[in-house]
Structure 1
Amino acid sequence: MPDGAVEPKKGRKFDQVLEGARTVFLRDGFEGASVDDIAKAAGVSKATLYSYFPDKRFLFLQVTKAECCAQSERAIDAIDMDAPVEDVLYQAAREIGEFITSEFGMRIFRVCVGEGGRFPELGQQFYESGPMLVRSRLEDYFECAISKGDLVIEDRTLAADQFNELCRADIFPRMLFNIADSFSDEEKHRIAKGAVEVFLAKYGV
């Protein structure tokens, strides 16, 4: 069985296959997605698909990795790191909220829970490509804010994890357990604003 750390062979139709797989996985989930449907959506033969990805699990891992990295980078690029600390944290909180309530975010969280026993590498791949990347970027920002005297933090890793959890309050459990599958802008604003207020009450100056 291919490991999530193995890099797939790249080629002319690699991105085409990846995009077709993303479409089908989002529509049908991991179990419901068939290789035939993925090949059809990608506009390639099954032989071409298998030349890049030897099985469906490996393909799903690569789709997850690519999507998490892309969404994380878009979120980071959207934040003005030179803004006041309260504004930066609010922007970050909104981006985290947008990701976990996105169609991809909701599906991948549910798959990680549902398939975790049989598919442990999926959770690891998702964590490394998404939450761990966000944590690293938050830690970097906290270091800069500390040097400017805007924050007082002894454990930047713990603070990053705490901030991330605050940004998921209320929304994440409702999403994960299918209690709600969409959230209004007002709800996401309320959670982000509350996350910033609680965080700054602990670490602000």
Structure 2
Amino acid sequence: MNDTATRSLDSPKARQILKGAKATFLEFGYEGASTDEIVRRAGVSKGTMYNYFPDKRALFTAVIEEECSAQANRLFELASRREDTEATLREIAHKLVALLLSPSMQDLYRLAVSEAVRFPELARSFYDSGPDLGTRRLSQFLAAAVARNELAIDDVELAAHQFDQLCKADIFYKRLFGIRKTFDQAELDRIAKGAVDMFLKAYRP
């Protein structure tokens, strides 16, 4: 993507294109999403789309990176505001469980997995911007807690991955594979509480 396009992604026209592209990719997948359908949903011409994004791959990458980065920023913004480690972990767990089960994130997971074999670089964009970014942000928070002697962790990166998996226990894959489509708040609270309780049993000094 050229510098002009990169600087313009916050413009109303770019937002319009990204919104139309996201809806098209989620419905048809990367391969099935045509540029004709993208511009139709975005309400722009192909020329306008190409002024912002040089090709469909760049547009797909922008959609994935923006969506995942926005979710990660909302999820972990609280980690920089508070130093109460347990309270912050519990809030992160509740937000993460809800995020993992949200329709938008479930759709992105399915899209990335479905395209991973044919387009591994696109799946890598999702991983780098989503799961890996979240793990890196959580690792930073855990490292700060270790420095305050509130947690005792030798490998904070591994611990961050473990926390993520604890927040997926029981319900994430049921939702991903369509075994169950809805969960009540008590079920979400159960997973979030169990994740933090087990994590602290392992890593509290």
TM-score, with length taken from structure 1:
0.87
Match of 1:135? 135
Query: Hey, what does 2:102 align to over in structure 1?
Result: 102
Runs of 4 or more above 6 Å deviation: none
CA distance in structure 1 between the partners assigned to 2:179 and 2:80 by the alignment: 34
- Counterparts of 1:1-205 in structure 2 under 5 Å? 9-10=4-5, 11=8, 13-79=13-79, 81-82=81-82, 84-205=84-205
User: CA, structure 1 residues 80+105, in 2 after alignment: closer, same or farther (shift >3 Å)?
Assistant: same
1:200 shift after superposition = 0.4
The letter of the residue matching 2:77 is D
Q: Tell me which amino acid in the other structure corresponds to 1:64.
A: I
- Equivalent residues of 2:78, 2:88 under 8 A apart: no
CA distance in 2, matches of 1:164, 1:136: 11
Bigger drift between 123-132 and 61-70 goes to 123-132
The residue identity in structure 2 corresponding to 1:130 is: G
Deviates more, 1:64-73 or 1:129-138: 129-138
User: Identity of aligned pairs, percent?
Assistant: 43
The count of corresponding residues between Structure 1 and Structure 2 is: 200
Give the conservation status (yes or no) of the 8 Å contact 1:79–1:91.
no
By how many angstroms is 1:94 displaced? 1.6
Equivalent residue letter for 2:169: A
Judge conservation of contact 1:80–1:88 (CA < 8 Å) in 2.
Answer: no
Instruction: Show the counterpart of 1:3.
Output: none
Question: Which consecutive unaligned segments of at least 5 residues does structure 1 have?
Answer: 1-5
Q: Any idea what SS the aligned residue of 2:128 has?
A: helix
- CA separation of 1:80/1:189 partners in 2, compared to 1, >3 Å: closer, same or farther? farther
Matched residue of 1:183: which SS?
Answer: coil
Deviates more, 1:22-31 or 1:184-193: 22-31
The 1:137/1:42 distance shift into structure 2, 3 A limit, reads same
Cα pair 2:26 2:111 within 8 Å, conserved: no
Structure 1 residue 47 displacement after superposition: 2.0
1:27 positional shift: 4.3
1:108–1:161 Cα change, 3 Å: same
Contact 2:139 2:160 in 1 (8 A): yes
Q: Distance in 2 between matches of 1:134 and 1:52?
A: 27
Q: Distance in 2 between matches of 1:98 and 1:29?
A: 24
Q: Which amino acid aligns with 2:122?
A: L
Please provide the CA RMSD for this pair: 2.1
Gaps of 5+ in 2: none
Per the normalisation by structure 2, the TM-score is 0.87
CA drift of 1:8 comes to: 7.1
